[in-house]
Chains A and B, each alone.
Chain A
Amino acid sequence: MATLEIKDLHAQVEGREILKGVNLAIKQGEVHALMGPNGSGKSTLAYTLLGHPKYKVTSGDILIDGQSIVAFPPDKRAKSGLFLAFQYPVTVPGVTMFSFLRAAYNSVHTDEKNQPPTLFEFRDAMNEKMKLLGVDESFMNRYLNEGFSGGEKKRAEILQLALLKPKFAVLDETDSGLDIDALKTVAEGVSKIAGADLGVLIITHYQRILKYIKPTYVHVLYDGKITASGGEDLSLKLEKEGYGWLKEQTGVVT
């Protein structure tokens, strides 16, 4: 059972320190929810975990199964079993979902002998996951995220998650910009994929997605630090009372 460990992580964006010592450990099979007000560093944490070049780690460490990945480029982190479902998936015009998914699948599932999966293996896996998530076949001929509705973009992210089978998935506000029906579809998709082999970090503003995906733990990120951790009741308290009480508790001036 692998663990994703975030140890005293400090990170900067354009010279400004955003993460100020984040500590978190996620085991495969667990679902952690990360909540927090705007500007607390939630998305920064997501990008920093995947190694976005704009986000610089100044101290601390990120480990998967005890191995530090903090010096790895994003592709090597993906191959180490880390996945990020983007809040704003990037459009790549002219690249079909099919060719993109095949390239991603081949990169991540290339075996020790450097042998990528065959086209048939890929097609089988793709058909299975599309069926599981109720994704229409016509999706495959469309350009990556181009002209996708908010719901389609998020479903495409979940399809990638299903196909790439990471050990750990960070869902960065996957619920944002979705109406209730779309949210339900996406959340059900995640539930289908989640299991003993997947550790999930759900970053969200709202409690509503947690109705569909039950978190094992809930954490609050506040001014670049995790200031409270608890069970599902913590998310309910936040929903009811907001983040004001945390401010008093931590004495942080924002």
Chain B
Amino acid sequence: MALQPVGAFTEEKVHALSSAFREPDWLTSFRLQSLKDFRSLPLEISPLYTKYTGISNFDPTRFSVDAPTEKVDLRSHYEGYLTGKETNVILQGNSTTIHVDLDETLSKSGLEVLNIHEAIAKEEDLLRSLFQDKLVKSSGEKYAAFNNAFFNAGTFIHVPRGVELKKHPLRKLLLIKNPGTSVVEQTIIYVEESSSLNFLEELYTSASDAPYLVSSVVEVRAHASSHVDASSLQLMDDRATYLVNKEVAAANDSHVNITSILLGSQITRSRLNFDLNGRGANTEGFEVFFCDGSQRFDLESNLLHNSPDTTAALHARGVLKQESQSIFKGMIKIAHNAKNSSSYLAHHAMLLDKGARSDGIPGLDIETNEVKATHSASVAQVDEEQVFYLMARGLSPDEAKKMIVIGFFEPVLSRIPVEMAREGAKFIIEGKWYGERRRLIDRESLMAITGEAPVEVKHGSDVFERHYKYRA
């Protein structure tokens, strides 16, 4: 019996969503244009990648998108998921309600955290300009267009000029519990000049009776001399199809770190672009994935240098067990005016089983001289000599491989600048190794379990000391 298509991605659906949220006309038009793009765009625009579309292909009509009708009671929704000690958390349950709990420092700092529709009502001019010059463009990618047309949840985070929040992580939790509709959400991060933000997003599932879709758009606008850390940890269950589009616009002398730790979901399709728009902008990306079973990971990450003196690095590392598959596509683009820029892009994967498969396609597109750019990619099997060495010291084959895998992730994990993500990632990856779905926990509880001192961050300056594939 064929599945009954429940998702009808029509103009009527857009109008229904838009009127349920009482949106202004400009937003309805934006959604309608996005729907056109969604319908017309192929899965891959670049001819380089068209033959790899199979890995994350799925039938979107299996899923429906509606305005949230259920009223989620966050207290019962999150029962068992919070210790009660959390501060500075944004709670989202499926596609409804954002509960924000800020401590005194953050609430008095001028930081603004709003549900996206509240933000549109409150600061319509600013939001309209952000939608007119959307970072995640509908014309750029099919599922970016999908999200822009059908988003039914969202968060707007605004750090005013000169407000430094680097030391006060702001967490956003999304907990999926039998969602009646797809969760299509946007997180718009707007950090003004000389400000800083440390944002950490976690995606979990507590229950799912049926397959579901989660689509996230994350936009980071880092103004001049600002500093933004935006990390996410995706630990949803295997009924999830997860689509994520992240776009960073880094202005003059800004510094942006993006971390993605991807462990959950059946299908993950991730698109991450760093636009280094201002002179002296500096970005670093960390992507870690660990998949097993029949999981499929499709990642594309690009470093786009549009100004002189920009520096970017992207470290992607994945481990694949059983029949899982991944593809990583990445391009360094250095525009003709982006002289004196440096760029580094690396993808390394380790296969643990014969049925696992991973491809890496890094590329360079450089239009100017006086730049440094390098990429590296490798896909390797687990080293049998390492396994033997560890087994000769009494470790079981499983423990030996686990240790090699954690070690393989270490060069990337140890560089993650966000304390909670850096310390928690190893704990969570180990959990996945043992078939447990763990959650991020605070430093004290973590140390009590592992007995190890937390890992101090290693600074990544040495990545550029390697040899260069391209130097001009």
Contacts and interface: CB of A to CB of B under 8 A. Distances in A.
Interface of A: 50, 52-53, 73-75, 77-79, 83-84, 86, 89-95, 98-100, 103-104, 107-108, 119, 143-144, 160, 164
Given A77-B392, A94-B410, A119-B451, 6 more contacts: A75-B400, A91-B386, A92-B390, A94-B408, A95-B404, A103-B395
Contact of B393 (A52, A78, A143): A78
Contact of B452 (A73, A74, A93, A98): A98
Nearest to A88: B385
A98 B453 CA distance: 11
A136 B411 CA distance: 24
Interface in B383-403: 383-386, 388-397, 399-400, 403
Contacts of B391: 73-75, 78
B403 A99 contact: yes
A92 B451 contact: no
B414 to A, nearest CB: 8
Given A52-B388, A92-B386, A92-B389, A143 B395 contact: no
Contact of A89 (B383, B389, B395, B403): B389
14 contacts: A74-B391, A77-B392, A90-B389, A92-B389, A92-B407, A94-B407, A94-B409, A95-B403, A95-B404, A95-B407, A99-B452, A103-B393, A107-B395, A160-B393
- Which 6 A-B residue pairs are closest in the complex by CB-CB distance? A94-B410, A94-B407, A107-B394, A95-B407, A104-B393, A74-B391
Contact of B394 (A86, A98, A108, A119): A108
B163 interface: no
B410 A95 contact: yes
A104 B395 contact: yes
Contacts, number: 84
Given A74-B391, A78-B392, A90-B389, A107 B407 contact: no
Interface of B: 383-386, 388-397, 399-400, 403-404, 406-411, 451-452
Given A74-B388, A86-B389, A93-B411, A104 B406 contact: no
Contact of B396 (A92, A99, A107): A107
A75 B395 contact: yes
A107 B410 CA distance: 23
A89 B386 CA distance: 9
Contacts of A92: 386, 389-390, 403-404, 407
The residue in B391, B396, B406, B411 that gathers the most chain A C-beta atoms within 10 A of its C-beta is B391
Contacts of A94: 406-411
A92 B397 CA distance: 15
Contacts of B411: 93-94
A74 B387 CA distance: 10
A144 B389 CA distance: 11
Contacts of B406: 94-95
The residue in B385, B390, B403 that gathers the most chain A C-beta atoms within 10 A of its C-beta is B390
A53 B392 CA distance: 11
A107 B399 contact: yes
B397 to A, nearest CB: 7
Contacts of A78: 391-394
Nearest to B404: A92
B405 to A, nearest CB: 9
Nearest to A143: B407
B392 A93 contact: no
Contacts of B395: 75, 103-104, 107
A93 B407 CA distance: 6
A171 B389 CA distance: 14
Contacts of A53: 384, 388
A64 to B, nearest CB: 14
B404 A104 contact: no
B393 A108 contact: yes
Contact of B397 (A73, A99, A144): A73
